[in-house]
Every structure is written in C-alpha cells, then in structure tokens.
Amino acid sequence: MTRAVSAPAFSIDPVDGLIDEPRRIVVTGLVPDELVAISAHTQRAGGAVWMSQATFMADAQGVVDLSRDAPVGGDYAEVSAMGLIWSQHPLDGASPELFPDDVMEPLQTTLTAEAAHGASARARFYQRFAAPGVERREVRADGPVGTLFTPDGPGPHPVVVVLNGSGGGINEPRAALYASHGYQALALGYFKAPGLSPFITETPLEYLETGLSWVHRELRPKDGFVAVGGQSRGGELALLLGATFPDLVSAVIAFVPGAMVHGAQGAGDPARDGWQGATWTRGGVPLPHLWQDNKAVHWHPWAGDAPPSRHHSVFFEGLKDTELAARARIPVENIAGPVLLISGRDDRAWPSSLYSRMVVSTLRRHGHPHLVRHLDFDNAGHAINLPFVPTTQLSREHPVSKVPYTSGGTPSDNAAADYGSWRGVLAFLAEIAGSASRG
C-alpha cells in the first residue's frame, strides 16, 4: 500500500504587521527528516528584487519552525526567525535601495517552500512602516523641508525630528515607524531635498533652528517634548543641535555619530573645497572641523582604487592633532536633556564606538544631570538600520560622491544591532517622554 504524501503548508504570524515585528514562520506537512528549501523574494524600490534561500531538515513531525530551527545550508547559518529577510541579496547584485518610494505601502515578501519529494507551497506576508491611522503630510513652507507623520488618535504627541546621514534626503521610513509607535515625527531634510542644496557643504545651523522652532510652534508637542535623532552625519548633527540649541531639543538620539564636527567628506560640493569643505555654518561662519589644516593627517579619499577595509583609521590619525580636535569637538556638555548613543564596534566608516564613548565620558565629567545611555553592538558596522531589512550590503557606493566604501560588521551581527537598537530607542523614549516638561 502506497503511503500518501501530504502537501507542505505555511503558517505565518502575523501575516500583516509593522516592519519591526518579528514573524513566526512555520512549514508543516513535510515528511519527517525531509529536506525543504525555503526562499524569500521581496520587491523593493525601483522594482529591485531581493532574494534569499535556505535549506532546512524537517523534524519527526514533518515541521520546520524558523524561530526554532537553524538551516543546514543557504544564505544564513543560525536560528533566526527573520533570517530569510536580513540575509537577502539584490538579484541585480548592487541595488542599494531597501525601502519603497511610498512608505504608506507595505513591503511584500513571497515565501516558497520546495520539498524534496517534489511538493511545494507559497505564501506572502507584509511589512508596514505606517500603522493604520498614521497620516503623512509633506512640509514645504515656513522654513523646514520634510515630511510629517502623525499617529492615530488625539494629540498632543511627543515629537521626534528625524535626520538622515550623508546620503541626504528625507528619512520617511524611520519617521513613519516612530508615528506608528505614538510619536509625531518630522523627517527633516537639510540637503539633497526639494529646494535645498544637493550637497552638505556649508549647511546653515539657522535652517535647522528654524525647523525646530516650527516644530514647537506648529506641532505643539506634548509637554514641549522634541527629541532629535539622526544617523551618521545626522548623528553628528543631532548632537550639535542639542549642544547649540538646548532650549529647543529635549533629547538626542545619535546613531553611529561623530563626536567632532567633520568636513563635508563624501557629501561635499566639488566646487567648494570638495571633501575638505566646511559642513556647518553659524552666523555665516564655518564651524571648525577635523580636516581643516589638520597637522597629523590629510583627508585623501581613494579614487579608482579599491577602498581600504578599515577606512576609519584616518579618523584616528586625524585626532592626533589634539588642538584642532579640541576646536572641532561638539560641546555636548551643553545638551539639556537625555542622550542615547548607538554604535557598532566594527564600524569601518568612522569610529562610532570611540566617538560615542568620548561623548559619554564628556557628559560624565561635566556631571550631566540627565539620562545617558550607550548601546554598543559587538561586530556591528556603520549601517545600523530599522529591524528586519537586508543587512548584506557591507560594501557600497556613496550616494553623493559615488566613491565606494565599506561599512563593516557581519550580516548576522548587523541584523542583531538593527533589532536591538530600535528596541532600545523605543525603551529610551518611553522612559523619558512621559516626564519631559518645558515648563
């Protein structure tokens, strides 16, 4: 008598939810001890398709549970409920785009299971940036250029201002996700955005001050609470804004930040001193920066050559000009609120772990009276992102200069930092926003 072979089937929980929600993905109906190949296809911005594949061995009940079982081969090698997402690679081999052009639409991932006995199954799940009821509005007047996301339900809400890094533009995905967790979020552009310069060179801090004043005046945040969060150059800027305009900034969230003011680097205007041009100005005067006639090292980006594996070594050399480093230092002791720093110990773009420790040390020496927290992730690189997105693009081309660079970390450790940092940000905000007051 021939034994009937059942067909595999997926169980996904939740099928539709926010991008920061882990999914439980289970395949049933397999033959005990059978091998099954599971692939994930996700359509992303510009039509790019990202894909991963891993092979699993079913248990004695014919079940594979990705939250319990490690693959026996494929694109990742440990137990990870969302390993099929963070281990994805672009099919074209080089697409840098992780997020859709319209963050109000979810990412859609198709899972396919192909069992050794020939049967197959297919299922889809959806990752959203914006929860039901979140509203999106472009802001183009009265100073700031950005996109405002407002959570469902009556206000007022605490506010988070979101700053992008040296790629410029407007970071809508992160702002939409903040709104999905109850914060009104302004993704604020400061270059490479409509009506603004295409380069970071000589960005006036007065523009950011105008944006922060607009937030306080127009959004009327709950208890006057306005946190500023940014990544990389945006992390440098978040610290600088907190130190320069303490009456407008209630808290600082700095992802892989610099503790110094740096030159324009890869986002610089080639017609205005390029990589060594000034980044920020106040009152029309450029702020001193680490590449400004540095006596210890010159900033020499590679051109046409393969990028060094540890690009950040030039920053260590630059700090040897101690007089210049002191002038370029961000006076973080002037920040009048809590500070959260997030870094990767294998950051190869610049030494964000060292810079974060320098900020913590400075605040401690000055008796900073507010919460200071540093999340420093083992073997994570510079590209600490939202949870459950691909982390495999360790080397990439800078979106402004088009110069290749290496961000560092491993896909697995970067994925852990993505998830851990975001949970840390939400915990930090929950801890401080309720008691924040501007009296």
Q: Cα 438 vs. chain centroid, distance in angstroms? A: 29
Catalytic residues: 232, 347, 382
